[in-house]
Amino acid sequence: MKFFRLFWVTLASIICGSGCLNPRITNTGRSAVEQTLLATAIERGVYSMPFDSFAGQVALVDYGFLAPQVDKEYVKAIFDSHLTLSGVKTVTDKAKAGIVIKVSCGVLATDEIAFNLGTPTLPIPMPYTEISFAIPEISLLKKVSRTGSSRFNAVVTDAKTDNYITSYRGVNSRTIYNNWVVFFFIPFSSRDVEFAEPGETTAHFLE
């Protein structure tokens, strides 16, 4: 009797102790990889548009066409900073502007493509029962590619006459993050976007 009592007390202690040691884990709605792919695609697309020829001018930036895009606020922030670095001052009053820049974004999204050289997960039902089990996926070589894509347009007009000055059309940018599995259990990744290592930071300073 004492043995069984000791057994149940020990089991309860283990269960309670394990529960206390399990951390509460939550995840954001969008992963860090997805956000990095999109943020980098935005930065590359916007920074590739040369506004140096408008240095010293005052511009009103019309972001009205960005309304459908979820990440429009980040597009605005990067575009404004790009104009500042190019020597262009921005205002919200058209009467004080020399030029108007209308910005649009037709593509700002992520995609995923998976390739597996091996066998997929194979469900195997048990005859005459509702029980089934599955043979897990076996991969000699597996690649999951996640990409971020952006497509920007910008039209510059005269603020006083609305006459066309110039435009940047079809400014495309693409980013990629690959997850690989080789010989069943050897994982690694390859990418063209920047991630900081744990405990480190990355920074780029422009003077």
pLDDT at position 18: 47
Which residue ranges form the domains of the chain, and what is each CATH number? 30-191 (3.40.50)
Distance between CA atoms of 181 and 136, rounded to whole angstroms? 14
Q: What is the pLDDT of residue 19?
A: 47
pLDDT the model gives residue 22: 59
Nearest residue to 63 (alpha-carbon basis) of 105, 102, 18:
102
Round the average pLDDT of the chain to a whole number and report it.
87
Give pLDDT tens digits for 10-48: 545 544 544 445 577 778 889 999 999 999 999 999 999
What does the alpha-carbon distance between residue 171 and residue 84 come to, in Å, rounded to a whole number? 20
Flag whether pLDDT at 9 surpasses 70: no
- What's the confidence (pLDDT) of residue 16? 52
Give dist(CA 48, CA 156) in Å, integer: 16
pLDDT per residue as tens digits for the range 84-120: 999 999 999 999 999 999 999 999 999 999 988 877 7
Q: For residue 130, count other CB atoms closer than 10 A to its CB.
A: 6
Residue 124's pLDDT is: 77
